[in-house]
Amino acid sequence: MLAFALVCAPAVHVAPRFAACRRCHIVAALPSFVSDQKIAAIGEAAFVDAANSMAVADLTLPAEFASGPVPTTYLKTNVAPSSAPPLLLLHGFDISSLEYRRLLPLLEAEGLEAYAPCVAGWGFTDTANMKSVGVEAKRAHFLAFLEQVMGGRPAIVVGASLGASMAVDLWAARPEAVASLAFLDPGMYTPAPPVVPEPVGRLLIENVIGADGVRESIAKQAYFEKEAQTDDAIAVGMLHVARDRWADDSTAWLLGGGYDVADAVVDLGAAGVPTLTLWGREDEVIPAGGDAAGGLLTPSPLASLLGALPATTFRWVERSGHTPHLEQPAVTARAIAAFARGEPVPGDGDAAAVVAAAERWEGLRAWAASTARDAGARASAAVEELLKRAA
């Protein structure tokens, strides 16, 4: 059992306000800070179904992280617990559990018990009683969810983008809580954002990241087929921004430095933990080969990952950008289901071209460094010679 297991399970209830959906003539359970008008304007069926099935668990965290219950919003499949490990789905940066609204019904159809909580600091989870939303606090929140909602069973942890870093961090801190891991376009080998002064961070959050136009542009970049990123989908991705503490939490996150789990990934590979990596073939947010210009300016995150996890099951997701769980949910669900059952995972796993490009990049970088050293040595020798002659 996890270290801060509680005797009593947390109270689980539907979200605090029901709002009628004008288009669908049903009710959607979302927190009261999400306006009825915004809910009524979204007609995407997957959103409507997910919003209606949302639940909230009042989690108890260690006193160092929270001064009272943390009402945690989550989605789950309607599958009874069994001896099989359940799935814990961790969403990415500044989004909500609704990121998995298209994937969860397909996982349910596969008979998989799965849970998708809103990460503390983003989404709809109420952080009013939390003392921090940094890396350690997020980890404590996940561990509380695993214990108090999922019964303390080792889980298959699925992480999308930054959620993959969260998954690795969770394994590194509590390996007995993790049965295996699945990564969706993971961000473990991309540089963390620079730490900025608080006024600059708040200005960035409130006037850039919080701006509708910027968020729409980022959402479009995430998809391979831009037209598939509908107005409804973009609106779903903005609903949580109305939460009272969203700007404070997001600013605190920018000031905290984020995740650095590169060494933990190497340890994960050495430990032989089963892993699955799915990558959108057309990812523009984290291109598998490095930067969008062909991988010449930045290292390849995929090659780095495969080097650290040589035994990972890797598969491309065709016609997908950064979000295969949204763009190709059926393909993603089949791959995760096969992985969870220990069956062969369908799809193309040939990453040889990316690895070869990364090796060429590393060779170029080594040559450039060597040339710079040689030039510096020659320049130093020439200066010394001039000084001797001048003397």
Residues 215-243: pLDDT tens digits?
999 999 999 999 999 999 999 999 999 99
| 371 has pLDDT over 70 | no
pTM, full prediction: 0.85
Write down the pLDDT at residue 7: 30
pLDDT in tens, 322-363: 999 999 999 999 999 999 999 999 999 999 988 887 666 555
What does pLDDT average to over the chain?
86
113 contacts 81 by C-beta, under 8 angstroms: yes
219 contacts 358 by C-beta, under 8 angstroms: no
Write down the pLDDT at residue 11: 56
User: What is the dihedral angle through the alpha carbons of 229, 235, 238, 239, rounded to the nearest 10 degrees?
Assistant: -140
| 312 has pLDDT over 90 | yes
Strand partners, 38: none
Write down the pLDDT at residue 197: 79
Res. 14 pLDDT band, cuts 50 70 90 = very low
Q: Looking at 185-312, which runs of residues are DSSP E strands?
A: 275-280
pLDDT in tens, 250-309: 999 888 878 999 999 999 999 999 999 999 999 999 999 876 444 444 678 999 999 999
Of residues 364 and 309, the one with the higher pLDDT is 309
User: What is the dihedral angle through the alpha carbons of 240, 243, 249, 253, rounded to the nearest 10 degrees?
Assistant: 10
Residues 281-285: contacts with CB under 8 Å, at least 24 apart: 281/224, 281/316, 281/317, 281/318, 281/319, 281/320, 282/224, 282/319, 282/320, 282/321, 283/185, 283/320, 283/321, 283/322, 284/221, 284/222, 284/321, 284/322, 285/161, 285/185, 285/221, 285/222, 285/321, 285/322
Q: Which tokens belong to 274? A: 């089963």
Res. 25 pLDDT band, cuts 50 70 90 = very low
50 contacts 102 by C-beta, under 8 angstroms: no
Q: Which tokens belong to 367? A: 């040559």
Write down the pLDDT at residue 374: 58
Write down the pLDDT at residue 367: 55
Identify the three-state secondary structure at position 96: coil
CA dist., res. 295 & res. 40, Å (int): 43
Write down the pLDDT at residue 386: 66
